[in-house]
Structure 1
Amino acid sequence: MITKVHVVLRKEDIDETALADGKVAVVFDILLATSSITAALAAGARSVVPVYSAAEAEEVGRRLPDGGYELAGESEGRTITGFHPPTPLFLQTVCPGKTVILSTTNGTVALRKAMKARAVYAASLLNSPAVGEHICRAHQNETIIVICSGSSGRFCLEDFYGAGYFVHCLIEQGITAAELSDSAMAAWLFYRQYGGEGKAKEVLSSSRVGRWMAACGLEKEIDYINRHGALSVIPKLEPGPFGPEMRDMAQMKATREGKRQ
């Protein structure tokens, strides 16, 4: 079984050297990036490429066939000019059969910072049961680092809740409390207090990002994101066909085990 589960509270706290020592990373950005990645792959996107910036997104796009990709992203909460909004419900309308190049302030940055891990997955409330089951089967006896993206260096309530839900999913697969670090235990206890879609909606809507989304009229996106275990897609970071000049670039693809819905 997995020997240890640890939760990192912000992407700024990622220890890339430790990740490179055979760790498995699971990244959460509940509002929005990892929820959007999950939804896009479930809706039939060929892949999702997480990038650091709009400029990097455009550079990746120049290396892909015309008409084969869509640009989506935000910077500090504002949709990037010329890009699609990076929200799950909207992306599902434009992503089928396409590569989505995604730039966000936090989630895509966290995924890129986690690249030195042995394996990197994107998880959300939508797909945590599927990702948890896969990891317990494919990564036995490995240390799992659950990464909360946070928001521009700040702790995020919704990511902490998502991490707790994921830890709960691991426990349902047979992981024991003795295998949790204190941060993983804290996230799990928080989930046990607020678990379930009803209470979770209060957590999401009460968070700083959730309040901003509601003020922008994105409550339907929050409701969609709050669908615990609704999707079985398992997004995993894999090498991408971007040429030798972009060796540090990768793409999220659905594993064969993750069924598209």
Structure 2
Amino acid sequence: MRKIHVVTQKELVEMEKLHECTAVVIDVFLATSTIILALDHGFTSVRAVKDAQTALSVAKTSPKDSYLLLGESKGEEIDGFIYPDPFLLLDERYSKEKELILCSTNGTVAINVARESKTLFVSSLINGQAVAKRIHAADDDSSIVFICSGNDNRFSLEDYIGAGQVIHYLRKNAGEYSLSDSAIGALLCYQSAKERTFSDLYRCETARMLADYGFEQSIDMILGKVDKIETVPIYHNGKMVKEIPNLN
């Protein structure tokens, strides 16, 4: 029976225990929603890096005009970077046939923590059902570890609920799973939030911070697209991509 565990924030991850696991990183209100929407809207790939310095180093080795540089640090804008607002990815001014180079305080750090896992997906409320289908369909019996990015070494309720969403659909797909206490808690939180159409998430710390910075429309968009996106980003050769190329 496959085991499911939820790590409530990235700082609690024991990297050496992920090598034989399927990992799912969640950062609902920023990084993972940005990655999902970018790939869903035609961007070729996303390089999720841990900080601005790394992002600039990657950009220097990339062909000119082949990428967009997105990033934030502790919620603040970074000079020379586009703010990673998921809503902006719908703007037709941005060419979609490019790679995104993305750094953030939480989500991209969590992705780098999990990069040595057997398989690495990213999830958000917008694609949780699709993530569950992808995991369920895989011929794999590895343990599933959900990594909630959190908010700068603090727990984030929206990420925990996002983990519960995928767990809900995994169980609905009639899979046999053994849930840890943190996984049971995430499932219960998701079920409660869904009953109230996720309205409580507007009260979360991250949502309030983004609203203070003027990004209310992104929160509205994410909560308005729950389970509406089929794209499931997967980590391959240092990038998040829509599909792993068939090398046969």
TM beyond 0.5: yes
Instruction: Note if 1:191 corresponds to 2:179.
Output: no
CA distance in 2, matches of 1:256, 1:210: 33
State yes or no: 1:206 paired with 2:194: no
* SS of equivalent to 2:117: coil
- For 2:80, what is the secondary structure of its paired residue? coil
Alignment of 1:49-64 (within 5 A): 49-64=47-62
| Matched residues, number | 242
Query: Counterpart in 2 of 1:91?
Result: 89
Tell me, in whole angstroms, the C-alpha distance in 1 between the residues paired with 2:226 and 2:202.
15
Which amino acid is the alignment partner of residue 67 of structure 1? Answer: D
Equivalent residues of 1:40, 1:95 under 8 A apart: no
Per-residue deviation, residues 64-107 of structure 1 (Å, max 9, x unmatched): 11100000010000121110110111123325111000000000
The separation in 2 between residues aligned to 1:79 and 1:175, in whole angstroms, is 43
Specify the code of the residue in structure 1 equivalent to 2:17. A
Paired residues of 2:234 and 2:244 also in contact (CA < 8 A): no
Matched residue, 1:181: 180
The whole-number CA distance in structure 2 between the counterparts of 1:169 and 1:163 is 10
> Quick check: 1:38 aligned with 2:36?
yes
Residues 90-128 of structure 1: CA distance to partner in whole angstroms, max 9, x if unpaired? Answer: 123325111000000000000000011001111001111
User: Percent of pairs identical after alignment?
Assistant: 36
Contact 2:164 2:188 in 1 (8 A): yes
Secondary structure at the residue paired with 1:147? strand
State the match for 2:45 in structure 1.
Answer: 47
The residue type paired with residue 198 of structure 2 is A
Any unmatched runs of 5+ in structure 1? 240-249
Q: Is it true that 1:219 corresponds to 2:216 in the alignment?
A: yes
Conserved 8 A contact 1:47-1:251: yes
Shift of 1:224: 1.2
Does residue 135 (structure 1) correspond to residue 135 (structure 2)? The answer is: yes
Q: Flag the 1:143–1:190 CA change in 2: closer, same or farther, 3 A.
A: same
Matched residue type, 2:210: M
Q: Give the Cα–Cα distance (whole angstroms) in 1 for the partners of residues 193 and 152 of structure 2.
A: 25
CA deviation string 1:224-258 (max 9, x = no partner): 1112111101100110xxxxxxxxxx11000279x
TM-score normalized by structure 2? 0.93
1:1-261 → structure 2 map (5 Å cutoff): 3-20=2-19, 22-93=20-91, 94=94, 96-176=96-176, 179-195=178-194, 199-202=197-200, 204-226=201-223, 227-239=225-237, 250-255=238-243
Report the residue type matching 2:154 in the other structure.
R
Amino acid at match of 1:235: P
Please report how far the alpha carbon of residue 216 of structure 1 lies from its aligned counterpart in structure 2 after TM superposition.
Answer: 2.3
> CA offset at residue 215 of structure 1?
2.1
- 2:48 match: secondary structure: strand
SS in 2 for 1:228: coil
Which amino acid counterpart does residue 11 of structure 2 have in structure 1? Answer: E
Deviation at 1:218, TM superposition (A): 1.4
Q: Distance in 2 between matches of 1:29 and 1:218?
A: 16
**Coordinate RMSD, CA, aligned:** 1.5
Give 3-state SS (helix, strand or coil) of 1:195's partner. helix
- d(CA) in 2 for partners of 1:73, 1:165: 27
Secondary structure of the 2:197 match is: helix
SS at match of 1:179: strand
Unaligned runs of 5+ in 2: none
Q: 1:228 & 1:95 partners in 2: Cα distance?
A: 25
Distance 1:229 1:134 in 2: 14
Structure 1 stretches (4+) deviating beyond 3 angstroms?
none
Q: Secondary structure at the match of 1:36?
A: helix
